[in-house]
Amino acid sequence: MENVELFFFCNVCERKSPEEILSRACTIPHTVKSYKKGEHVAYQGDRVDFLYMLAKGKVKSEVVSDPGITLQIDEISAPHPLAAIFLFSRNNHFPVDVIALEDSEIILITKDSIEKQMAKCPYFLRGFMAFTSDRALFLSERLKIFSLKGIKTKVAFYLFRRAKGDEFELGQSITSLAKFFRVDRSSLSRAISGMVHDGIIEFKEGKGKIIDRNALKNMF
Amino acid sequence: MENVELFFFCNVCERKSPEEILSRACTIPHTVKSYKKGEHVAYQGDRVDFLYMLAKGKVKSEVVSDPGITLQIDEISAPHPLAAIFLFSRNNHFPVDVIALEDSEIILITKDSIEKQMAKCPYFLRGFMAFTSDRALFLSERLKIFSLKGIKTKVAFYLFRRAKGDEFELGQSITSLAKFFRVDRSSLSRAISGMVHDGIIEFKEGKGKIIDRNALKNMF
């Protein structure tokens, strides 16, 4: 019943039960590796020769410079692929250290096996491409937010991009949005309250409405 | 002899002559559209349902907010795909306006045809994945550079990442690197000269050497 995580990318299999998946007799060659809490899964600069699918546990990725200053930390919980978007890159190296935060299990699949599975299963191909594409879109949006100065400007642009018509959903908690913007949680809350106070938006429990579209657009 | 651009992603075909490519009888269904100088190829928010391969000419992409303030401009010259990394995204919309800077020609290939070509030709699959992966890596590196404060810090991190052993190549001109960092060209030159003066690096004509690795790492 294990290794359902192999089908993480397949949008046909993701809706099926483990029993149904087994009955499809669709397997991907792989090996499984275990890591103790605190152990390195990969060092910055290591080649990404496999798809690393975190099947159990939790890891963190970090860039550490010499005096022990950590530049960036991300936590990733199973099931989730690691460095998947870099697998096919012509410069396929881990850009970060990856360290187990709990006892973890990682499924390793060779690039070759991934390619064969893509040619065999259009759903897997589409799922893998969608994952990579979504991640690239996320990076590209984050880059735009970063390039804007001031929290209000960032919020305005973010809401403008997310809105469908005049309605929007924040899409994540204030805490994780603050991390995304790399600003204080309290400053972010203040910026949103300010925009509500100024009659630019309505906002309640993660959802809202653009009231004054021109004022919002004039902010970025 | 036209439409060699269809094989942009195929690392077997990219080394062949147009005649050889034709003789392979490997075709991808497509349509061709022409755009006059100044015409919109796509508006921000348009769905990316096709691979847009710019086959002739030049376009710019820009985000424009209400009072006519342009946030970001990129220029793209043929042959080059447009918005290719977003084609498979679950949110596959153009994040920018795309406008022809010259009379241009664009080859449109459906997502379905791309998928079929991927299943048929492992070289095309690998090439397309490499393109997407490289682009994601570029975005991710740029994001890291952005999150660092100060030009010297950015330069130090950039060089540290690019170095193979102690040797490094800048990989692009000072002018384009300054754009990449979003800083002044002259400030960037000064920052590099400063690091040479302080004995941290050697640098001449786009190539250099790390002299004091610890000092470099202490900068970010």
CATH number of the domain that residue A49 is part of: 2.60.120.10
> Measuring CA to CA, which residue among B91, B106, B82, B5 is closest to residue B47?
B91
Residue of A nearest to B91 (CA): A134
Q: Do B158 and B98 reside in the same domain of the chain?
A: no
Where is the domain boundary, A116, A139, A160?
A: A116
Within 31-70 of A, beta carbons closer than 8 Å to B belong to: 63, 65-67, 69
Cβ pair A96, A61 in contact under 8 A? yes
CA distance A112 to chain B (A): 10
CA distance B144 to chain A (A): 9
pLDDT of residue A62: 80
As beta bridge partners, residue A32 has A107
Q: Do A46 and A107 reside in the same domain of the chain?
A: yes
Q: Is the dihedral of CA A19, A20, A21, A26 positive or negative?
A: positive
A218: nearest CB among B67, B72, B85? B67
pTM of the full structure: 0.78
Q: Would you call B144 an interface residue with chain A, using a CB distance cutoff of 8 Å? A: yes
Q: Do A154 and A110 reside in the same domain of the chain?
A: no
- Residue B119 tokens, joined: 């299943």
As beta bridge partners, residue B81 has B53
Mapped onto helix, strand or coil, the DSSP state of residue B173 is coil
Q: Is the dihedral of CA B162, B168, B171, B173 positive or negative?
A: positive
Residue A79 neighbours by CB under 8 Å, 6+ apart: A5, A8, A53, A54, A55
Looking at the domain assignment, is residue A123 inside a domain? no
> Measuring CA to CA, which residue among A62, A94, A88, A56 is closest to residue A75?
A62
Residue B189 neighbours by CB under 8 Å, 6+ apart: B174
d(Cα A205, Cα A168) in Å, to the nearest integer?
11
CB atoms within 10 A of CB B17: 11
Classify residue A3 as left (phi > 0), alpha (psi -120 to 50) or beta: left
Verify whether the Cβ–Cβ distance A71 to B143 is below 8 Å: no
- Residue B69 tokens, joined: 């303030």
Complete DSSP assignment for A148-190: S-SHHHHHHHHHHHH-BTTEEE--S-HHHHHHHHTS-HHHHHH
Verify whether the Cβ–Cβ distance A137 to B89 is below 8 Å: yes
Which domain does B196 fall in, by range? 148-218
pLDDT of residue B180: 79
Where is the domain boundary, A116, A131, A160?
A: A116
Domain total of chain B: 2
Looking at the domain assignment, is residue B112 inside a domain? yes
Looking at the domain assignment, is residue A156 inside a domain? yes
Alpha-carbon distance values, A192 to A67, A144, A148, A199 (Å): 37, 19, 16, 11
pLDDT of residue B136: 85
Q: Do B104 and B41 reside in the same domain of the chain?
A: yes
* Chain A residues lying within 8 Å of B134, measured CB to CB: 89-91
B155 CB-contact burial (10 Å; exposed 0-12 / middle 13-18 / buried 19+): buried
> Measuring CA to CA, which residue among A53, A37, A28, A39 is closest to residue A106?
A53
Residue of B nearest to A11 (CA): B90
> Measuring CA to CA, which residue among A142, A140, A121 is closest to residue A8?
A121
Q: Do B94 and B152 reside in the same domain of the chain?
A: no
Cβ pair B29, B43 in contact under 8 A? no
* Chain A residues lying within 8 Å of B149, measured CB to CB: none
Angle B172-B176-B177 from CA coordinates, rounded to 5°:
70
pLDDT of residue A66: 46
- Residue A220 tokens, joined: 């970025």
* Chain B residues lying within 8 Å of A146, measured CB to CB: 143, 146-147
* Chain A residues lying within 8 Å of B143, measured CB to CB: 139, 142-143, 146
Looking at the domain assignment, is residue B19 inside a domain? no
Alpha-carbon distance values, A127 to A44, A133, A202, B126 (Å): 27, 10, 36, 16
pLDDT of residue B66: 45
Size of interface A-B (CB pairs under 8 A): 135
Query: What DSSP designation does A50 have?
Result: E
Looking at the domain assignment, is residue B4 inside a domain? no
pLDDT of residue A163: 86
**Which residues of chain B register pLDDT less than 70?**
1-3, 63-73
Looking at the domain assignment, is residue B24 inside a domain? no
Instruction: Tell me the CATH number at A161.
Output: 1.10.10.10
pLDDT tens digits along A55-73: 999 999 886 654 455 555 6
Cβ pair A53, A109 in contact under 8 A? yes
Where is the domain boundary, A66, A95, A116?
A: A116
Q: Would you call B215 an interface residue with chain A, using a CB distance cutoff of 8 Å? A: no
Verify whether the Cβ–Cβ distance A137 to B95 is below 8 Å: yes
pLDDT mean by block of 10 residues, chain A; 220 residues:
73 79 81 96 90 94 60 80 89 87 95 91 90 86 80 89 88 86 90 95 94 87
Q: Would you call B11 an interface residue with chain A, using a CB distance cutoff of 8 Å? A: no
Q: Would you call B12 an interface residue with chain A, using a CB distance cutoff of 8 Å? A: no
Looking at the domain assignment, is residue B123 inside a domain? no
Q: Do B107 and B49 reside in the same domain of the chain?
A: yes
The residue written with tokens 């498979």 in the block is: B88
* Chain B residues lying within 8 Å of A163, measured CB to CB: none
Looking at the domain assignment, is residue A5 inside a domain? no
Per 3-state DSSP, what percentage of chain B is helix, strand, and coil (rounded to 5)? 40, 25, 30
